[in-house]
Amino acid sequence: MSSYLCAIGTANPPHRIPQTQIADFMAAALQLGERDTRKLQALYRVSGIGHRYSVLPDYARVNGEFEFFPNTPGLNPFPTVGRRMAEYRRFALPLAVQAVQACLEQLPEVELSSVTHLITVSCTGMYAPGLDIELVGALGLPGHVQRTCVNFMGCYAAVNGLKLADAFCKATPQARVLVVCVELCTLHFQKSTEDDHLVSNALFGDGAAAVLVQGTPAAHRPSLALTAFHCDLEPDGHADMAWHINDFGFEMTLSSYVPRMIQDGIGQLTQRLLADLPVELADIRAFAIHPGGRKILESIEQALGLSAHDNRYAYSVLREYGNMSSATVLFVLARLLSELTAADNGAPVLSFAFGPGLTLEAMLLTVASENMREEVAMEVENGMRQPQAVVLAS
C-alpha cells in the first residue's frame, strides 16, 4: 500500500530583495572595508541566487530606518534570541496559513474538516503552545486532529515530515495528513566575519510550504506516491554542518567541506535507497534535490552523472528564493509536480535533502495519475484496500 503526496502549496513574505542589495546591507552591517566589501559582493554574485524573501524589510535598507535592527553603527545592541522569537511568533502563523490555502486550492474535493493529522516542521523558531495549536485555530481544524512537531532538524526535516505522513496513512488508510513547513531564516542573521557565517548569511531566505498526503491519489491531477525512503549519516561532517542556539540568534555552521562530503556520500546513499526496488539510477529522469547551495548541486551532478537540466527545478528555486531550510525541497517538488501530466504515470522521481549531522536523506517517489487512481479503486473493489480511503478522496 502506498501513500500519495497530492498537492503542495507555497508562500513567501512580501519583501522580495535582490541578492546584490542584501550584500550591500551585510557589508554595511559588518562595517567592512573596501577590499572585504568587494570579496563579499563576489561571494553573493556566485551564489546562484537572484532574490530572497524576508519577513524583515531591513535587508533592503542600507542607510538606516530599520524596523527590526537598531539604527546605530554596527547595529548595536544586536537583537537577542527573545526578540527574534517574538518576530517568529508574529509572522510564522500567517505565512503557514497562506501555504495551506495555496495547497488546498488545488484540491477542491478536500475539506479541512477531513484532515486527521497535522505535522508542523520548523528549525527557525519554537514556542508553546506552538504553531501547531495556532494552526488548528486559524484553519478551523477539529480539536481532536492528531498533532506532531518536527523541530530543529534543519534542511532535511521536510523528508521526516513526509515519512511520518506516510506511516500515518499506512497505519490508518483513511488518514489525511497536512504537513506544514515554516522557516524564517533571515531572523537569524549573525554579525560575524567568520567564513561560516558569511556563507550562511548569503544563502538563507524565508518561506513556507504545505503538503497534503493521503491514501489515494488526487482526483483530476497527478500525485506523487511516497515509494521509499533512506537516511544515512556522514560522521566526518558532524562539525561542518551544525545549528546552535546562542545569545543572539540561531547560529549556522556551514563549512566549505560540505559539498565534497555530500559528493562522496551521495552515490552510496542512492544505491542503498534503490537496492531492493525495481528501479535503477539510469531509469530516473526527474529529480527534486534540495538546493543547499550552488556548489552542493554541482557536486551531486558530478557524483551521479546528472546535468544542470536534470537539476533545473532546484536551480530555479535557488535562484528565486535562496535556501529556505526545510521548506526548500518542497518548493522544488512543487515545481516538478506542476509540470506532470497523465503521460508521466509511473515515472520515478529521486529527491535528496541534507542537514546537520551531516545527515543525508533520500526518497523515491512515483508519479501517479488518474490511471493509478483507477487501479487503487479496483483494489478496494477486490478487497485489497479499505474503502474509506477512496470515499474520503472522492
Q: Which CATH topology does 223-372 take? A: Peroxisomal Thiolase; Chain A, domain 1 (3.40.47)
Bridging pattern class, strands 146-151 and 249-254? unpaired
Active site residue 155: yes
98 to 94, 139, 184, 185, 209: CA distances (angstroms) = 6, 10, 14, 18, 9
State residue 375's pLDDT score: 54
Cell 502549496 belongs to residue: 9
Catalytic hit among 6, 155, 169, 181: 155
23-57 per-position pLDDT tens digit: 999 999 999 999 999 999 999 999 999 999 999 99
User: CA 178 to CA 213: how far, in whole Å?
Assistant: 6
- Give the domain 4-214 fold: Peroxisomal Thiolase; Chain A, domain 1 (3.40.47)
10-residue mean pLDDT series, the chain (394 residues): 95 97 94 96 96 97 86 90 96 98 96 97 95 98 97 94 98 96 95 88 96 95 96 72 73 66 85 90 95 92 94 98 97 97 94 88 92 51 40 22
Q: What is the pLDDT of residue 253?
A: 64
Taking all residues of the chain, what is their mean pLDDT, rounded to a whole number?
Answer: 89
Summarised one tens digit per residue, pLDDT across range 57-98 is 999 987 778 999 999 988 999 999 999 999 999 999 999 999
Q: What is the reported pLDDT for 387?
A: 34
pLDDT value at residue 70: 93
Global confidence as pTM: 0.92
Coil/strand/helix, residue 325:
helix
Three-state SS at 321: helix
Looking at residue 256, what is its pLDDT? Answer: 60
Q: Looking at the chain, which residues constitute the CATH 3.40.47.10 domain(s)? A: 4-214, 223-372
Any alpha helices (H) in the chain, and if so which ranges?
A: 19-29, 34-45, 81-104, 131-139, 157-171, 195-203, 258-274, 294-304, 312-321, 328-338, 370-381, 388-393
What backbone phi and psi angles, to 5 degrees, belong to 109?
-80, -10
